[in-house]
Each structure stands twice: as C-alpha cells, then as structure tokens.
Amino acid sequence: MSESTFTSGVPASPAAHSSSGVASMARWVDDMVQRELTEPFDLGEARLYVIPAGQSQTAVLLDRDENPYRLLERTTDHSSVTAAALVVTGWCAPTDSPDSSTMRPSEHPLRQRVRITVAIDHTGIATVMRRDGAPNEPDLMEDRGEGELPDALERWWCGTSA
C-alpha cells in the first residue's frame, strides 16, 4: 500500500456524513479528493482508496493508474480492507437524448466533465458524481446504479474475473 494517507481536514469517519454505510464512504472520499484538487476534474489517473480492516478513520491510497480497469486488475489482494472507493474523471452526456446510445459521451455536443467516486463495502455500492458547471454540488446515488465502473468494482470486490 502507498504511504499516502489522507486524514487532514477529513471528518473523523465516514459516519460523520448524514448518509449511512457505503454512501458515507463514497461521500467521505469524494470530499477528501475535492479538497485536494485545485481543479475538480484534473485527475490524471484513477485512484483506488481503501479503509484497512480494523480502521475507520483513515483512507489509504492503495494505487493509481490511467486506466481504472487495469488498476483493479493489478490490485487483486484486498482481503485486508473493509471498504474501497474508486475515483475517476471522464465525460457524461444526457441519457434522454435520441443519439445518446449511439454516441460516445466524449463526442456528444452536450457532454460534461465529471468526477465519479464509486465506493463498495459488504453492504453494497454507492456513487458520488460531480459535474462541470456545478463542481461544488455533488450528486449522491445511494443505489448500485448501472454501468461498467460499478460492474468492474463489484467484480473486483467479489474476486471474480472480468
């Protein structure tokens, strides 16, 4: 594990947020990253944070990589963690647009930069998303949601292959 431990200015624990469980973890890590970055969407590499077993007040940066899927493939030994959060930046596009299913979000004329924090623990998955234009107004999704990122994180957590 990397020695990059982030506790300064972070609430004492994920439970300090109004949400509960894995949603608190997602919000906690997202807030921590938000305070660290000078530009909210300038994250050159995906980051994987974990809470080691037996701890509740320290999120440790386990690893980072330009490709979040390669990052998860490379960090397979997570038996000693109680929760994890994957932080990535990318593009999103409106889902109600008729061309949304045929066009990549990065190519859509109404695209927005986003930063997504997907957290997982034994209770499930939750996501926090920040959008360009409203970077200080995070959206918390307390359900599993859909998409490749939560699917990949869930496979990683369960120890199943792609």
- 128 domain-assigned: yes
pLDDT tens digits for 65-103? 999 999 999 887 777 888 999 999 998 877 676 655 677
- 54 domain-assigned: yes
Q: Which range marks the domain in which residue 71 is found? A: 5-89+117-158
**Does the pTM of the predicted model rise above 0.75?**
yes
Spell out the residues 6+ positions from residue 142 whose beta carbon is closer than 8 angstroms to its own: 19, 23, 126
Predicted pLDDT at 131: 92
Domain count, the chain: 1
- 122 domain-assigned: yes
